[in-house]
């Protein structure tokens, strides 16, 4: 009888329960479980929204995929080296930018500075990156478009007028697209305390000022002595700048566009003060810190890829900071990975987990360089130091080593690192079994190796960070490594 079996199960369960009654499950596993929940919620909050919400960052996949043939993993579609197109001559947003047809506004996510063109064409809401790349955008039932910015801020776009309606006006900056172009190619530079040009300053719709740098915008507020200040994310550092009109008397536009900064800096330095920190240092000169270019040893520079690195006591370098960081569904990742393989049917995809990570950032490419080669992967770029500094300044095309990965951080320090098994597309893949042709998607639980050597379950209340770094070499010498990092903020 069903009742009889049900009764047996309940009685058996009660008996069994008593055997567990003295266990301190919460004490033994509570910290680990809570930490895992936080990490997963952070992941979900980054990319999941309503059914029609599209995570803006999803389109950035292509840029990170672009150099993947040079990851050195030997995938079927790979080639031995990478030739990268350079970034625009001026890394400052605006130069060389054309407003996409149909774009009405630039929406900037105040939380992280990421900015996008939005608008409408033929009754369809539109979304573009600042480089003009069109992104697929979801629509509500009423036809309006919805964008969930990286911070979680929601913006709707009228499909006819292109008007923008932010759910929280305090969370975004709305700038008319035309004035964005006009102003950002104007001549007002924002100059840091050390004289470095950080970017352009421009007026926005509400009459305020923003700093445009590296494709991001930061709100400028008046400070003492005619200077301005802004808060850089995610470290919340307060930075002071001075606005300088550099309108050239000759009207030669090249004078305006020519960057004064080659985005070279020293290693991450402890930053105990709130002094200006967004300061890519022009450094053909040796810096005060050990210069990896002249070092014979590997790993002399502390980096966020390493166990124990104190993120709280250092400052991410904006030149190595992420332009975008987001997560895609396992299906989207699989689609992309399949495109990588010449014979995708030969691979058994097993991209477990709801989401897999994608990161994207711009690394320093000098304005005179039109090509570059190097390696990109989830490793610390310091691992390639030995290959740098050997050309005695005759390097006529840039070479680079770029790394981007994830770490877990507790009390400001790295407590677990991401050590992928490799594979043809490690930006997605935790491991690849060539014998069975199976790919395993990154799982935020088991993809990390605790620094303590203990099991991953021993990790407690940690924060999930994305870390990045790069080294370049050109005619002026070796630059870097530079490191950046971003916390994936828990929500919910």
Partner 1 sequence: MAHWEPILDEVMRERAPRLLAYAAMVTGNDAEAHDVLQEALVRSFSKRRAFTHVNAAEAYVRRAIPTVYLDSLRKRKNRERNHSRAFERDETQPPDVDAQVDVQRALATLSPRERACIALRYYDDCTVAQVAQQLGLAEGTVKRYLADATAKLAATLGTARGDIAEADTVPVLPAGKAGNSHG
User: Least distance (Å) from partner 1 to the CB of residue 375?
Assistant: 29
472: CB partners within 8 A, 6+ apart: 363, 364, 365, 366, 372, 374, 398, 399, 400, 478, 479, 480
Residues 284-323 that bind partner 1 (CB under 8 A): none
What is the arrangement of strands in the sheet containing 172-176, beginning at the earlier edge strand?
A: 134-135, 124-129, 115-121, 103-109, 172-176
Number of C-beta neighbours around residue 264 at 10 A: 24
Q: Assess 167 for contact with partner 1 (CB under 8 A).
A: no
From 208, 445, 458, 460, residue interacting with partner 1 (rule: CB under 8 A): 445
Query: Nearest approach, Cβ of 489 to partner 1 (angstroms)?
Result: 12
What does DSSP say about strands 372-377 and 398-410: parallel, antiparallel, or unpaired?
A: parallel
Q: Which residues contact 325 (CB under 8 A, 6 or more apart)?
A: 46, 57, 150, 357, 358, 359, 360, 466, 486, 488
Strands 429-433 and 372-377: unpaired
Segment near partner 1 (CB under 8 A); pick from 44-52, 280-288, 363-371, 378-386:
44-52
The helix (H) or strand (E) run that includes residue 323 is strand 322-329
Using the rule CB under 8 A, is 221 a contact of partner 1? Answer: no
Is 124 among the residues that bind partner 1 (CB under 8 A)? no
CA distance 266 to 292: 10
36 touching partner 1, by CB under 8 A: yes
Please tell me the distance from the alpha carbon of residue 468 to that of residue 317, in angstroms, as a whole number: 10
Residue 44 near partner 1 by CB under 8 A: yes
Residue closer to partner 1 by CB (options 11, 101) is: 11
Q: Taking contact as CB under 8 A, which single stretch among the options 26-34, 106-114, 172-180, 269-277 is the one that binds partner 1? A: 26-34
Q: Which segment (5-13, 260-268, 290-298, 301-309) binds partner 1 by CB under 8 A?
A: 5-13
* By CB under 8 A, residue 1 contacts partner 1: yes
User: Could you tell me the smallest distance in angstroms from the CB atom of residue 124 to partner 1?
Assistant: 29
Label the pairing between strands 237-245 and 216-222: unpaired
Q: Does 331 bind partner 1 (CB under 8 A)?
A: no
* From 13-21, 55-63, 242-250, 376-384, span contacting partner 1 (CB under 8 A): 13-21
Cα dihedral 129, 133, 138, 141 in deg (nearest 10): 90
Pair 139, 156: CB distance under 8 Å: no
Per the CB < 8 A criterion, the answer to whether 401 and 387 are in contact is yes
Please compute, for residue 66, the number of CA atoms within 13 A of its CA located in the half-sphere on the CB side. 18
Contacts with partner 1 by CB under 8 A: the residue count is 46
329 is a contact residue toward partner 1 (CB under 8 A): no
Backbone angles phi, psi at 463, to 5 degrees: -105, 145
Cα dist from 181 to 164, 172, 185, 335, 344, whole Å: 18, 18, 6, 35, 42
By CB under 8 A, tell whether 26 contacts partner 1.
yes
Asked if residue 452 binds partner 1 (CB under 8 A), the reply is: no
Pick between residue 17 and residue 392 the one whose CB is nearest to partner 1: 17
Shortest distance, CB of residue 150 to partner 1, whole angstroms?
A: 17
Nearest residue (CB) to partner 1, 253 versus 438: 438
**Interacting residue with partner 1 among 46, 48, 68, 434 (CB under 8 A):** 48
Please select the residue that binds partner 1; options are 41, 76, 274, 331, rule is CB under 8 A. 41
**Residues 336-355 close enough to bind partner 1 by CB under 8 A:** 350, 352
Contact 149, 155 (CB under 8 A): yes
Q: Which stretch binds partner 1 (CB under 8 A): 33-41, 161-169, 317-325, 364-372?
A: 33-41
Does residue 11 touch partner 1 according to CB under 8 A?
yes
Spatial separation of the C-alpha atoms in residues 6 and 12, rounded to whole Å: 10
Binding stretches for partner 1 (CB under 8 A): 1-6, 8-21, 23, 25-26, 29-30, 32-34, 36-38, 40-41, 44-45, 48, 350, 352, 435-436, 438, 440, 445, 457, 490, 492
């Amino acid at each position: 009888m069903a009742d009889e079996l049900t009764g047996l199960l309940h009685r058996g369960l009660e008996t069994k329960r008593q055997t567990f009654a003295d266990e301190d499950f919460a004490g033994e596993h509570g910290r680990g479980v809570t930490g895992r929940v936080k990490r997963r919620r952070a992941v979900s909050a980054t990319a999941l929204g309503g059914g029609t919400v599209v995570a803006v960052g999803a389109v950035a996949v292509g840029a990170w995929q672009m150099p993947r043939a040079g990851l050195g993993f030997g995938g079927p579609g790979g080639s031995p080296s990478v030739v990268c197109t350079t970034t625009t001559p001026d890394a400052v947003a605006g130069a060389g930018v054309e407003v996409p047809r149909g774009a009405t506004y630039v929406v900037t996510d105040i939380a992280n500075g990421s900015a996008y063109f939005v608008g409408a064409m033929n009754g369809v809401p539109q979304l573009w990156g600042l480089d003009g790349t069109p992104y697929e955008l979801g629509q509500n039932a009423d036809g309006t478009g919805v964008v969930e910015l990286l911070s979680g801020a929601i913006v709707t776009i009228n499909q006819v007028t292109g008007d923008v309606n932010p759910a929280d006006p305090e969370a975004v900056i709305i700038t008319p697209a035309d004035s964005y172009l006009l102003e950002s190619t104007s001549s007002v530079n924002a100059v840091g305390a050390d004289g470095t040009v950080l970017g352009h300053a421009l007026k926005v719709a509400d009459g305020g000022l923003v700093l445009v740098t590296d494709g991001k915008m930061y709100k400028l507020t008046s400070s003492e002595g005619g200077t301005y200040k802004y808060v850089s994310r995610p470290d919340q550092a307060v930075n002071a700048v001075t606005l300088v009109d550099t309108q050239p008397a000759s009207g030669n536009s090249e004078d305006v566009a020519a960057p004064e900064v080659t985005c070279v800096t020293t290693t991450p330095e402890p930053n105990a003060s709130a002094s200006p920190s967004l300061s890519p240092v022009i450094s053909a000169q040796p810096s005060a810190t050990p210069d990896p270019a002249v070092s014979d040893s590997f790993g002399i520079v502390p980096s966020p890829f390493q166990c124990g690195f104190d993120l709280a006591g250092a400052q991410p370098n904006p030149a190595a900071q992420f332009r975008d960081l987001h997560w895609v569904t396992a299906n989207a990742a699989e689609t992309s990975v399949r495109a990588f393989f010449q014979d995708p049917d030969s691979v058994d995809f097993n991209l477990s987990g709801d989401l897999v990570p994608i990161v994207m950032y711009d690394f320093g490419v000098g304005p005179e360089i039109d090509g570059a080669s190097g390696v990109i992967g989830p490793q610390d770029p310091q691992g390639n130091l030995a290959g740098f500094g050997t050309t005695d300044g005759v390097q006529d095309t840039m070479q680079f080593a770029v790394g981007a990965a994830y770490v877990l951080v507790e009390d400001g320090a790295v407590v677990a690192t991401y050590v992928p098994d490799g594979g043809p597309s490690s930006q997605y893949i935790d491991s690849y079994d060539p014998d069975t042709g199976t790919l395993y998607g990154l799982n935020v639980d088991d993809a990390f190796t605790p620094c303590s050597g203990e099991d991953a379950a021993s990790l407690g209340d940690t924060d999930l960070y994305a870390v990045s770094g790069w080294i370049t070499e050109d005619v002026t010498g070796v630059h870097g490594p530079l490191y950046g990092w971003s916390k994936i903020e828990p929500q919910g």
